[in-house]
Amino acid sequence: MSLTAAGRARATATVTVASPIFPISLTRRAVVRSPERMPSTYRLPIFPIPLVLLPRAVQALHIFEPRYRQLLTDCRTGAMEFGIVCRTPDVAEREIPPGTAGCVARIDSSQSLPDGRSNVLVTGAARFTLVNFVDDPAPYHVALVEPFDDEPLEPHGATGTGALSERLRELFARVGRSARALQDDAAPLPVLPDVAADLAFVIATHIDLDLADKQRLLASRSPLDRLRQLDEALAPIVESIEERASIHVRAKSNGHGTHA
């Protein structure tokens, strides 16, 4: 399901179901360990690319650069994970600012190609902040990172989160159904999680947000703030996309739409 909504001047939100294949490079052997077995900070191989990986998001990667081929090899014999940190084109790889949020990418599957490249499927796991890059004999980047999670909710915050979660589910369903209708796609909508803390992350994987907005979601330690951010993105486009979908359906039924 893919949709560029009308009224894009008011909000940039596109509903999409397929995870795009991002043609990037992945990659001597740093010790790769699982965050669950590490102290508050730990060393993690880092893949700095113009992509924001969110928790629970499934992302396809095409690995072709030699140093990241080595990273993939090392991960296969280790914890099967590495870190993805978003790097914009104007920032050098090792000049990503300390404190930048990133996400652990857990390798679900990989397919080796005859020429040494690989297609890899990863899922976003724990979030972390970049402490600093460290010297390492590996050909790829290794950094000291610190895991983080959401701040505890105040009692009134839990109430607000529940109400906004339900509103956002409804908004997503309305936009999603309209997007499916516009593309004559009868596939079911994605299943959303019950946990409010995960809801915004999952919805964000199916809508077209720019890198800055996704990075803001990733770094947020407030489920309520994340829900508000997505509500601001989806609410302005609901009526316009529903109208477009209605016109599309009527046009299909009579060939020319409804005449006054």
119 pLDDT band, cuts 50/70/90, is: very high
CATH number of the domain to which 127 belongs = 2.30.130.40
Q: Does residue 188 lie in a domain region?
A: yes
Residues in contact with 154: Cβ distance below 8 Å, sequence separation at least 6, in sequence order = none
Q: Does residue 7 lie in a domain region?
A: no
**Number of domains composing the chain:** 2
pLDDT in tens, 74-97: 998 888 999 999 999 999 999 999
Tell the burial category of 188 from Cβ atoms under 10 Å away from its Cβ (0-12, 13-18, 19+): exposed
Q: In this structure, are 41 and 144 located in the same domain? A: yes
The 3-class SS string of the chain reads CECCCCCCCCCCCCEECCCCEEECCCCCCCCCCCHHHCCCCEEEEEEEECCCCCCCCEEEEEECCHHHHHHHHHHHCCCCEEEEEECCCCCCHHHCCCCCEEEEEEEEEEEECCCCCEEEEEEEEEEEEEEEEECCCCCCEEEEEEEECCCCCCHHHHHHHHHHHHHHHHHHHHHHHHHHHHCCCCCCCCCCCCCHHHHHHHHHCCECCCHHHHHHHHHCCCHHHHHHHHHHHHHHHHHHHHHHHHHHHHHHHHCCCCCC
Q: Which of 125, 148, 171 is the last residue of a domain?
A: 148
Q: In this structure, are 188 and 211 located in the same domain? A: yes
Per-residue pLDDT at 217 exceeds 60: yes
pLDDT in tens, 169-185: 999 999 999 999 999 99
State how beta strands 21-23 and 58-63 pair.
Answer: parallel
Q: Which of 148, 173, 191 is the last residue of a domain?
A: 148
Buried b (16+ CB within 10 A) or exposed e, 198-207: bbbbbbbbbb
Q: Which of 94, 125, 148 is the last residue of a domain?
A: 148
The residue to which tokens 């919805």 are assigned? 203
Residue 252's Cβ-side half-sphere holds a number of Cα atoms within 13 Å equal to 10
Alpha-carbon dihedral angle through residues 119, 123, 128, 129, given to the nearest 10 degrees: 40
Q: In this structure, are 29 and 139 located in the same domain? A: yes
Q: State the residue range of the domain holding 47.
A: 21-148
Q: Does residue 13 lie in a domain region?
A: no
Q: In this structure, are 50 and 164 located in the same domain? A: no
Global pTM reads 0.80
Q: In this structure, are 139 and 166 located in the same domain? A: no
Per-residue pLDDT at 257 exceeds 50: no
Asked if 84 and 125 touch (Cβ cutoff 8 Å), the reply is: no
Per-residue pLDDT at 13 exceeds 60: no
